[in-house]
Structure 1
Amino acid sequence: MTSIVAVTACPSGVAHTYMAAEAIESAAKAKGWDCTVETQGSIGIENELTESAIKSADIVILTKDIDIKNSERFEGKTIVRIGVSDAVKRSAAVMDKIDAHLAKVTA
């Protein structure tokens, strides 16, 4: 099973952070994938990713609108950087691209 971890954050750290997290999680689950999302919002880091979740992840999705705290945790992983608005509006398309990438890598 494909496993994805993601970290979402937006400049204001409020609504879009959580909307992006929900959209990514829903789109991944629609593909039957395991997905865990950490949010870095105005109240700090929530649902912090565990070391084991990161280690077992096939793909890491990071929003790129502001710096992600502790991004060194993802060194050596395949990272997809997307804007928060793309995460909210185009998560299904992002998952399709990830699916195509993974199909090439495992072919």
Structure 2
Amino acid sequence: MKIVGVSACTVGIAHTYIAQEKIENAAKKLGDEVKIETQGTIGVENELTDEEVKNADIVLLAVDVKISGEERFAGKRIVKVPTEVAIKSPNKLVAKLHEVVAAK
């Protein structure tokens, strides 16, 4: 499965990057292709390309704040959770993404 997403916390420092790492590790364990863009105090990093978004099976937004560029996910299946969920239960979260995609 191909997962793309964005992580962004209220402060834009620690939780943004911890969420990214936890999601990517959990997804890779299941053999998924995954790329999580971060939006924090130093701007956008690991920016998603239009091609990556187009080819994604699902979009994960692990965010606590409004993010920029959310409109690029229009028409995609989106799961939105607080960063805390991604940090505390990344394996359950990725399993849920699989359920959502399978339930087409």
- TM-score when normalising by structure 1: 0.93
Secondary structure of 2:37 counterpart: strand
- Unpaired runs of at least 5, structure 2: none
- Unpaired runs of at least 5, structure 1: none
After superposition, the CA RMSD in angstroms is 0.8
**How far 1:91 moved relative to its partner?**
1.0
Paired with 1:87 and 1:17, the residues of 2 have a C-alpha distance of 10
* Alignment of 1:61 onto 2:60: yes
Secondary structure of 2:93 counterpart: helix
The answer on whether the counterparts of 2:6 and 2:63 sit within 8 Å (CA) in structure 1 is no
Residue of structure 1 equivalent to 2:86? 87
- TM-score when normalising by structure 2: 0.96
Q: Which runs of 4+ in 1 moved over 6 A?
A: none
**How far 1:62 moved relative to its partner?**
0.6
* Alignment of 1:45 onto 2:47: no
Matched residue pairs, number? 104
Paired with 2:75 and 2:100, the residues of 1 have a C-alpha distance of 17
